[in-house]
């Protein structure tokens, strides 16, 4: 797509707030639909975030059952309502969620600082409709799953992180943004170990997306949110570390982190050697292909 075409699209495109009104969605529903890939957005080169082309508004309006069908696809339910959707007791619903058999897509902290997980009603209906899942909905849980529950397994936070990370990576437009997404799920000590160069680390920090929920700095709520958003599973941490190293390598080649005038090269580069300026392997298109692989 040429730059003139992109500019023309941006000139006539809608802000997220206006697009949500045009589609009859609450802003939270609109944001979720974007994350789920149900609404296509384009970047705003003016730095104003993402926008929705008019063609996308027209496409969605022309779909069968609009707007009710679109709202149904982004309908979120909590534990109690989710159990009603699946026609099972609340306790069984919670056990299925802890086992990772159903995954939350959102969470928030209530006034008692308890985590409230939110699930897509459509996914719960689909899970219930699969014949192979019937034994999990009625009767006694299989022994292996009971053992996992007895050991205290709770995969809700890990599954949420995986889904949210996927949402954010799909919106990333270059390797630095992808690296920022990956770094957002690692403990700061892990980042310091993986990115020892202070200029790289500072530049990376600019691309870290904010947490999905907020609390006053240092407050119990903020600490709980940090715990949920930070990887704690060894396999998850290992994957994030490995992926971040590779993506950062692409990011540095794509666009080196800015440095003071007297410090143009990385600390480990011999003096006199030119700073690497070549694009990532296969260029930006190659990075995009590897990301989607």
Structure confidence by residue, pLDDT tens digits, 43-61:
876 666 789 999 999 999 9
Per-residue confidence (pLDDT) for residue 7, from 0 to 100 = 46
Rounded (5°) CA angle 142-90-159: 70
| Packing angle, helices 283-292 and 234-254, rounded to 10 | 170
Per-residue confidence (pLDDT) for residue 104, from 0 to 100 = 97
Residues of the chain with pLDDT under 50: 1-10, 270-283, 285, 293
Per-residue confidence (pLDDT) for residue 12, from 0 to 100 = 74
Per-residue confidence (pLDDT) for residue 291, from 0 to 100 = 55
Per-residue confidence (pLDDT) for residue 263, from 0 to 100 = 55
Q: What pTM did the predictor assign?
A: 0.81
Per-residue confidence (pLDDT) for residue 254, from 0 to 100 = 94
Nearest to 182 by CA among 256, 291, 41: 291
Q: How far apart are CA 200 and CA 250, in angstroms?
A: 13
Q: What are phi and psi of 50, to 5 degrees?
A: -100, 155
Q: What is the dihedral of CA 71, 75, 81, 86, to 10 degrees?
A: 90
Per-residue confidence (pLDDT) for residue 281, from 0 to 100 = 45
Q: How far apart are CA 68 and CA 233, in angstroms?
A: 39
């Amino acid at each position: 797509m040429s730059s003139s075409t992109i500019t023309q699209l941006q000139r006539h495109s809608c802000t997220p707030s206006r697009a949500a009104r045009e589609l009859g969605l609450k802003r939270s529903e609109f944001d979720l639909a974007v994350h789920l890939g149900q609404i296509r957005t384009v970047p705003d080169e003016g730095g104003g975030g993402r926008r929705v082309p008019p063609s996308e508004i027209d496409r969605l309006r022309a779909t069968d059952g609009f707007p009710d069908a679109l709202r149904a696809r982004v309908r979120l339910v909590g534990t109690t309502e989710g159990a009603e959707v699946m026609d099972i007791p609340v306790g069984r619903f919670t056990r299925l969620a802890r086992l990772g058999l159903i995954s939350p897509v959102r969470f928030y902290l209530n006034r008692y600082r308890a985590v409230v997980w939110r699930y897509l009603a459509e996914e719960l209906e689909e899970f219930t409709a699969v014949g192979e899942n019937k034994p999990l909905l009625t009767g006694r849980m299989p022994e292996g799953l009971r053992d996992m529950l007895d050991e205290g397994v709770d995969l809700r936070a890990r599954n949420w992180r995986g889904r949210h990370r996927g949402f954010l990576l799909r919106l990333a437009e270059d390797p630095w943004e992808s690296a920022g997404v990956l770094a957002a799920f690692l403990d700061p000590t892990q980042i310091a170990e993986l990115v020892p160069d202070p200029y790289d680390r500072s530049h990376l920090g600019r691309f870290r997306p904010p947490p999905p929920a907020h609390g006053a700095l240092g407050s119990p709520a903020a600490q709980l949110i940090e715990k949920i958003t930070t990887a704690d599973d060894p396999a998850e941490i290992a994957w994030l570390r490995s992926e971040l190293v590779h993506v950062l390598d692409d990011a540095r080649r794509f666009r080196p982190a800015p440095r003071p005038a007297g410090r143009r090269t990385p600390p480990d580069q011999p003096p006199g050697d030119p700073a690497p300026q070549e694009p990532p392997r296969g260029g930006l298109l190659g990075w995009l292909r590897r990301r989607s692989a």
